[in-house]
Amino acid sequence: REKRKEEKREKKRKVKREKEEKKREKKKEEKREKKRKEKRERREKRKEEKREKRTEKRREKKTKEKGREQREEKRREKGKQKRRERRKEKEEKREKKRKEKREKKTEKRREKKRKEKREKKRKEKREKKREEKRENKKKEEKREKERKVKREKKTKEKRREKRTEKKEKKRKDAREKKRKEKRREK
């Protein structure tokens, strides 16, 4: 009986030991599992962080790229704007020159017309004066002719009168002579 009891106890102890052993083993396993889990989680975390980092880097790169592109675009746009402005200025300058040329031409034409008008007026004035001179000369010549004719007429008249007076005197003298002769004869 004692022996059996001992065996029983031994069995119990054995069972207990095994149980404890199992417990310990389980605990160890759990610990190991925990460690593995933690390791895995750490690995995962690191991976995630790496991934995040890569994504961030990519994002930054993209942003940088985008920024660079935008800057580039801005620069290009600025260049285009400048070129446009330069073109506009050139065109305006050309237009101004053309306008000035046109105005100069117009002014030249106007001046020419004014000159021609003045010249025409002067010519007409000269012509008028010449005409007046000619007219005056003609009138003067006519008057002179008339005066000459008048003078000649007068001279002729005077001569005639003189001749008549002479004749009259001759007749008178002859009559007087005759009378004297008659008186002498008596």
Quick check: 32 pLDDT over 90? yes
* CA 182/CA 35 separation, integer angstroms: 213
Our CA angle for 110, 111, 117, nearest 5°, is 90
Question: Which of residues 48 and 2 earns the better pLDDT score?
Answer: 48
Looking at residue 186, its pLDDT comes to: 61
Looking at residue 14, its pLDDT comes to: 85
Choose the weakest-confidence range: 42-51, 68-77, 109-118: 68-77
pTM above 0.85, yes or no: no
Looking at residue 114, its pLDDT comes to: 97
